[in-house]
Amino acid sequence: MPLAPQRWKRVTKSALPWEAEALEYLRAALPDCDPYYGCTNFSFIADDGTVNEVDALVAIPRGLFLIEAKSDEGELRAATRAP
């Protein structure tokens, strides 16, 4: 079951269909219980005056995660370092 509306706050509707689909995928992947929360599609003004857009900010037991949804196709892999 995806996060309930009281745990998932969509500030504005996404203008990009692939972004909306990605955010729904994220919402469906999170359990609907404490301490899982999400807030999507919002912006803030930084100390330097720049406006910054956020696709998703998610709170889970391991911390807060800022998520940027992209439409590029491909595979993301973790980099490994040689010993």
The owner of tokens 């729904």 is: 24
Q: What is the pLDDT of residue 12?
A: 95
Q: pLDDT per residue over 67-79, tens digit each?
A: 998 877 777 676 6
Task: Parse the chain into domains and list their residue ranges.
Answer: 8-67
How many other CB atoms are found less than 10 A from the CB of residue 23?
Answer: 21
Q: pLDDT per residue over 23-35, tens digit each?
A: 999 999 999 999 9
Sheet holding 51-60, edge to edge: 8-10, 37-45, 51-60, 63-67
Question: 62 to each of 26, 36, 45, 66, how far by Cα in Å?
Answer: 16, 10, 26, 13
Whether residue 83 has pLDDT greater than 70? no
Residue 20 one-letter amino acid: A
